[in-house]
Homo-oligomer: A and B are copies of this chain.
Amino acid sequence: MQDIRIGFGQINPVVGDFAANASQIKQQILQAANRCDLLVFGELALCGYPLGDLSYRSDIIHATEAALDDIVKFTAEPLIAELTVVIGHVAAAEERPESQVSYARAHNSATVVRGGQILGRYDKQRLPNYDVFDDWRNFVPGHSELIFEVNQRKVAVAICEDIWNTDAARSQALRDQGVELVVVPNGSPYTRDKMASRRMAARRFQNGFALAYANLSGGQDDLVFDGDSFLIDPSGSEIMRAGSTSGLWVDSLPIAEPEVNDAESLFRALVTGTRDYCAKTGQSKIILGLSGGIDSALSCAIACEAIGAENVLGVALPSRYSSEHSLSDAKALASALGCEFRVESIQDAHLVLERQLGLSGVAAENVQARVRAVILMGISNQENRLLLTTGNKSELAVGYSTIYGDSAGGFAPIKDVLKTDVWRLSRWYNEYQAREVIPTSSIEKAPSAELRPDQKDQDSLPDYELLDSVLALLIEQFMTVDEVVAAGFDRELVSEIDEMVRRSEWKRSQGAIGPKTTALSFGSGRRVPITTRFGKL
């Protein structure tokens, strides 16, 4: 598209913060005025994405429409009057189709604006209703194309899912109408293979036209929008690529084949998710327990990158079962990261409760984890610090955690990272920092909850390499036990893991949110009954 200079307004909106979102949009417009002919923003950029059931609310819809009016007026300013702007927003819908049995009363729309005039509005047609997406619940589908001109070239609009797995008729119709460019506002959350699949979807949708894919930036609850807006020419060649950060993107980053499971981009996504959860909920300080183990170490590194080490407090909470290295590893980590470090022994409270209750076995073990939570939440409340819970996806999957104990916390930075990837990320982080930030001993020692003498995770769980391989198939690839067995795993092992997953459903139902990084993260993307006997037969 040499004839149209395209910019991407890759902003980081907050759901419901119309003033701040509109202000970001205006800033991008001002910056783009001299450099671009066409500026494209992400899906629902003006109101924030995802709205969830807030899309039902007339006050949200009206506030969005008012903010849009204001931006339209703003584009009449002489300096920017030549710029064509595509803005994603929620808009009132007239009526739902008969087949849609929902409370939806709004469209997921994009309005095209130039010189103080609205050139038209496009309403998203394909409404995804899988994984974390609830669009069919929340929005009314549109049915019409919007074609407008920029520099005498015909441009059409599609929104996000519109270009995924669509039949060829629509693309053909666009081509038949002479469309040379399709602009696509997206709310496309990060997963590890998403860069590649976005390009695949875009190329499959193309039919002789160029395609400008505009994404959002930043974290919103359990989703991380990793930017990655891009432009491909009619042949499918990528000619412009944005990074992940918020801002106006006109010039391209170097273009290479996207890497799947890239450690750096995964780490960055976890940092972004944590940073924006803090920023958008108005929390500037973090607390977390440091066990000397690898999960809390990696989580602490993420926290320090997210909000600055000076705002992070790591607390070691030793018990009589804690090994010497637990405390020294925790201390070494905090010192390497430069965050605050305290030691709060759980020994006194543990002894009191132990004597009072006379518990044994797992019940007694859990008390230690829960006393830690009381201490951490006490400091959290006292000092206004967000408590991070540092469980990984493998533990979460099989229920290897103490509810109201180590699972306590407002945000779970590595909840969608399998244990083997926690190791991988930790090694990467040390390489990236070119020094031993995460103690090698934390990486190399056998994982232990240290709730009884000489306890090791592997006393209760399969080897993590094996466990993670099975979990990836069962959870992320939706396989049945039979299918996993057919893939080459032992039936007894797979059934045991499947049973552990099912038995811990209730714990996960009370879990903290954290950044989604895979096709299936525990949370709103996985909706299964707590009560089920399937598989026990």
Report the minimal beta-carbon distance from A503 to chain B, rounded to whole angstroms.
9
Please indicate the chain B residues that have their CB under 8 angstroms from the CB of A2 in the complex.
none
Q: Tell which of A23-31, A202-210, A364-372 binds the partner.
A: A364-372
Knowing A381-B362, A512-B510, the reply to whether A53 touches B528 (Cβ < 8 A) is: yes
Report the minimal beta-carbon distance from A459 to chain B, rounded to whole angstroms.
18
Q: Establish whether residues B349 and A356, one from each chain, have CB atoms under 8 Å apart when the complex forms.
A: yes
Give the contacts of A353-396 with B (CB-CB under 8 A): 353, 356-357, 359-364, 366-367, 370-371, 373-375, 377-379, 381-382
Please tell me the number of chain A residues within 8 Å of chain B, measured between CB atoms: 98
Q: Tell which of A80-88, A122-130, A290-298 binds the partner.
A: A122-130
In the complex, A410→B534 CA distance in Å? Answer: 20
Knowing A103-B130, A373-B404, A534-B15, the reply to whether A54 touches B529 (Cβ < 8 A) is: yes
Knowing A103-B130, A374-B374, the reply to whether A344 touches B356 (Cβ < 8 A) is: yes
Report the minimal beta-carbon distance from A144 to chain B, rounded to whole angstroms.
15
In the complex, A52→B363 CA distance in Å? Answer: 32
Report the minimal beta-carbon distance from A402 to chain B, rounded to whole angstroms.
9
Give the contacts of A107-161 with B (CB-CB under 8 A): 126-131, 134-137, 141, 161
In the complex, A99→B506 CA distance in Å? Answer: 33
Q: Establish whether residues B100 and A533, one from each chain, have CB atoms under 8 Å apart when the complex forms.
A: no
A327 at the interface (CB under 8 A from B): no
In the complex, A478→B59 CA distance in Å? Answer: 11
Knowing A136-B101, A357-B379, the reply to whether A16 touches B535 (Cβ < 8 A) is: yes
Report the minimal beta-carbon distance from A522 to chain B, rounded to whole angstroms.
12
Q: Establish whether residues A529 and B51, one from each chain, have CB atoms under 8 Å apart when the complex forms.
A: yes
Q: Convert A158-177 into 0s and 1s, putting 1 for each residue whose CB lies closer than 8 angstroms to a CB of B.
A: 00010011010000000000
Report the minimal beta-carbon distance from A367 to chain B, rounded to whole angstroms.
5
Partner of A130, one of B19, B102, B280, B345: B102
Q: Convert A171-209 into 0s and 1s, putting 1 for each residue whose CB lies closer than 8 angstroms to a CB of B.
A: 000000000000000000000000000000000000000
Report the minimal beta-carbon distance from A165 to chain B, rounded to whole angstroms.
8
Q: Establish whether residues A377 and B366, one from each chain, have CB atoms under 8 Å apart when the complex forms.
A: yes
A433 at the interface (CB under 8 A from B): no
> Which residue of B is nearest A370, CB measured?
B374
A236 at the interface (CB under 8 A from B): no
A489 at the interface (CB under 8 A from B): no
Report the minimal beta-carbon distance from A21 to chain B, rounded to whole angstroms.
9
A439 at the interface (CB under 8 A from B): no
A18 at the interface (CB under 8 A from B): yes
Q: Establish whether residues B533 and A17, one from each chain, have CB atoms under 8 Å apart when the complex forms.
A: yes
Partner of A381, one of B141, B344, B363: B363
Report the minimal beta-carbon distance from A410 to chain B, rounded to whole angstroms.
6
Please indicate the chain B residues that have their CB under 8 angstroms from the CB of A377 in the complex.
366, 370, 403-404
Q: Establish whether residues A130 and B137, one from each chain, have CB atoms under 8 Å apart when the complex forms.
A: yes
Give 12 A-B pairs besides A48-B532, A99-B141, A356-B375 with Cβ atoms closer than 8 angstroms: A16-B532, A17-B533, A19-B537, A59-B481, A59-B482, A101-B128, A103-B478, A221-B531, A348-B352, A357-B382, A377-B403, A404-B404
Question: What are 17 sample pairs from A and B whose C-beta atoms fall under 8 A apart?
Answer: A16-B532, A17-B533, A50-B529, A52-B529, A99-B126, A100-B136, A102-B129, A130-B137, A137-B527, A280-B531, A349-B352, A349-B356, A353-B378, A357-B375, A366-B377, A367-B374, A509-B513
